[in-house]
Amino acid sequence: MEVPGWLERLAERVVTAPVPPVMRPPRSGGRPAAVLLLFGEGPLGPDVLLIQRSSRGRRHAGQPAFPGGGVDPADGGPVAAALREAEEETGLDPAGVHVICTMPELYVSRSDNRVTPVIGWWHTPSAVHAASPDEVEAVERVPIAELVDPANRLRLRHPGGYSGPAFRVRGLLVWGFTAGVLDGVLADAGFERPWDRSRVEDLPPDVVNLASRG
């Protein structure tokens, strides 16, 4: 299977990428978790698979995210966990995914998760859908060209005053952990385009209300 050159170059960069201090895992504690950054080639060029979590969920309700979840003992590690969760959430066929690499572990203090991002190439795409309605409301292959469009980029100010990168694309407001990882990965892959970083908006009240439940 032929992996795109940009994805090979991305893998070389991210495996040794420094972890921001705020996301460095603690020496002990935290729940092991994994997410799948699944890149493919769609009708509009390279794309990435995102899900929108159910608004009825207990954690990260309503948020766009990468497929993923906790690492179970039977998984044997983050790669198997990321593929299993992606299959459960989107119905994708793991046989069509070639795992490229794993990124350094990132700590999400709000959920006490130690998350390993797993980067994969979707060499044989399969049909995807919200395979677990209690956890997932929608599944979307989002073209990278739309993510890096300056018109779709902004920063969101959280109620605590912190502001972080965000994307408004295909009816989704991508923010938080997912947007932070995408922001770095798109830059490392060479896709980022100049955008107005002074464009700052407050996190919408309905999103704040859902997030407060997670």
Domain count, the chain: 1
Question: Looking at the chain, how many residues does it have?
Answer: 214
Domain that holds residue 21: 5-204+206-210
65: CB partners within 8 A, 6+ apart = 35, 50, 51, 52, 53, 177, 178
Residues of the chain with pLDDT under 70: 1, 56-61, 210-214
Q: Across the chain, which distance is largest between two alpha carbons, in Å?
A: 46
Residue 115: what pLDDT? 98
Residue 73: φ, ψ to 5°:
-55, -35
β strands within the chain, DSSP E: 31-42, 45-53, 64-65, 68-70, 97-102, 106-108, 113-122, 136-143, 153-157, 163-169, 172-174, 200-202
Over residues 151-199, the pLDDT tens digits come to 999 999 988 888 999 999 999 999 999 999 999 999 999 999 999 999 9
What is the DSSP-derived secondary structure letter of residue 203?
Answer: P
Residue 159: what pLDDT? 85
Name residue 164's beta-bridge partners: 156
The CATH code of the domain that includes 129 is: 3.90.79.10
